[in-house]
Amino acid sequence: MNCDVCDSSERFLLEAMVDADKAETTLRCYLITHERLGGVSDMDEYESLRKSQQDSMDGRDKAYTDLVKHKRVHLA
């Protein structure tokens, strides 16, 4: 028996994992290419990328916990 909520949650988790990976990669590339710069605009860009990374990781974590919580319903 397939559950539409499970299917949707699993797709959402996969998308969230890809988004988190993209944000992490973008931040990592920024750090590699800007290691010697430290101007105001550099710090603004870093803070923006860091916030994006954190938001995407939070989204991934929420998607995972939502999926696990829903799957527990099937076990009850």
pLDDT digits (tens, 9 = 90+) for 25-56: 999 999 998 877 667 788 899 999 999 999 99
In this predicted structure, what is the pLDDT of residue 37? 67
Q: Which has more confidence, 35 or 66?
A: 66
Q: What is the CA radius of gyration of the chain?
A: 17
Residues sharing a CB contact under 8 Å with residue 75, sequence separation 6 or more, in sequence order? none
In this predicted structure, what is the pLDDT of residue 35? 75
In this predicted structure, what is the pLDDT of residue 1? 57
pTM: 0.84
- What is the residue whose two structure tokens read 């909520």? 5
